[in-house]
Amino acid sequence: MNMHSSNAATAEEAIAAQEALPPLTNEEATQVAMSNTLLTPRFYTTDFDEMDAIDVSSVRDEWDVLIGQMKADPNKGHFKKNEDWDTVDWDGMEPKLKAEFIDFLISSCTAEFSGCVLYKEMKRRGSNKDITELFQLMARDEARHAGFINDALREAGIAVNLGFLTQAKKYTYFRPKFIYYATYLSEKIGYARYITIFRHLEAHPEHRFHPIFKWFCEWCNDEFSHGEAFALLLKTDPKLTQTWANRMWIKFFLTAVFSTMWVRDHQRPEFHKALGVDPKWYGQEVFRKTSEISKQVFPMTLDIDHPRWEPTLNRMQDANVQIAEGRKQGGVAGWAKRMVGSAKAGFAFVSLLTIPVEKNAVPDSPRLEPAY
């Protein structure tokens, strides 16, 4: 019997465990995971030498505690189906919900695996013990998460081919500092998303239409510690969060990450209906938690209660519907529709950037524990 990805000590072992499972016709799922649009999870590459040169001595005490927690590996063996995994009636699931839920699983699996690929590569290329150790631990977690989502997909007769994705998906280059901002935020927003759904379903178990949601609590704790690691990395170089230009970049990334989530979630109305969640409430709730957490290291938060915030996000969402319609329609008229939609989305994004931020005095020590 081969090892299961949930017990793997490294990302490589977890991926191998997934690859060893019986093959499935997974071309469609892999194709979805392969797509690169503004709204689909991407794979990233960066200047690994620059990242390898980070000196963590200024945050040594907090660093060692965090690495110690991650090495203790409280979630080893957790991401595996057990007796809590209720039977899923895939055939009986309402077709629209099924399509949206599968899309959600594929996109989540790709996002988890995107982290794994980036972290694994940093570990492989680096020689700085602190950095390689951290990235190896984070790659391990993300590979387990991706493997577990794939286990859920397999029951529906599909799976994402992780080995193939690593080879064939296009990689986007980001400078290290952009990796810090984007990855810090995606880990923390990942925590906020998972915990918000988990708490909601704790209160309303009748909406738990799939067992995977029962695993979200421990899951989000992994994402929380990954975010903590990036908060410490950001702390090693005060310039990253203090200069005027970098503060503008932080505002840009906050706006991009929040608005992408809003638009992406609004593409799955049936999924949110089944969960008993209003996507607007959910979006704002996740933004609120993420903003609160990000005060640990970012010198500002977005004003998500500003009168222009929600209406502008909705305009962006409408523009996105127009782009999708244009793509479907094809031809010159479809192309024109897409262009108009893209211009509208662009204007909406710029408009979001003009909303004044709320300043924040960053604490000396960034470390937090999951509190939601």
Binding site for Fe ion (CB under 5 A): 112, 142, 145, 187, 223, 226
Query: Cβ of residue 61: shortest distance to Fe ion, in angstroms?
Result: 23
CB 253 within 8 A of CB 182: yes
Q: Closer CB to Fe ion, residue 111 or residue 323?
A: 111
Residues in the chain, total: 372
Closest CB 134 distance from Fe ion, rounded Å? 12
Give whichever of 142 and 265 is closer to Fe ion, judged by the CB atom: 142
> How near is the Cβ of 287 to Fe ion at its closest, in Å?
19
Shorter beta-carbon distance to Fe ion: residue 120 or 145: 145
Residue type (1 letter), 367:
R
Contacts of 48 (CB under 8 A, 6+ apart): 121, 122, 125, 126
Of 178 and 347, the one with the shorter C-beta distance to Fe ion is 178
What residues does 171 pair with on adjacent strands?
43
CB of 82 to Fe ion, least distance (A): 19
Nearer to Fe ion (CB atom), residue 69 or residue 342: 69
CB of 236 to Fe ion, least distance (A): 20
- Which CB sits closer to Fe ion, 294 or 320? 294
Residue 321 C-beta: closest distance to Fe ion, Å: 29
> Locate tokens 């490294």: which residue?
10
* DSSP-derived 3-state class of residue 359: strand
**The token pair that represents 107 in the structure block:** 């996109």
CB of 265 to Fe ion, least distance (A): 18
| Angstrom distances, CA of residue 125 to CA of 134, 164, 176, 352 | 13, 21, 14, 38
Closest approach, Cβ 197 to Fe ion, in A, equals 14
Please name the helix (run of DSSP H) or strand (run of DSSP E) that holds residue 23, with its range, or none.
none
CA distances (Å), origin 260, targets 41, 285, 330: 10, 15, 24
Amino acid at 68: G
Q: Which is nearer to Fe ion, 176 or 326 (CB)?
A: 176
Residue number, 233 or 300, with CB nearest to Fe ion: 233
Contacts 24+ apart (CB under 8 A), 204-212: 204/276, 206/276, 207/274, 207/275, 207/276, 207/277, 209/93, 209/97, 209/101, 209/274, 209/275, 210/88, 210/101, 210/152, 211/81, 211/84, 211/85, 211/86, 211/88, 212/105, 212/148, 212/149, 212/152
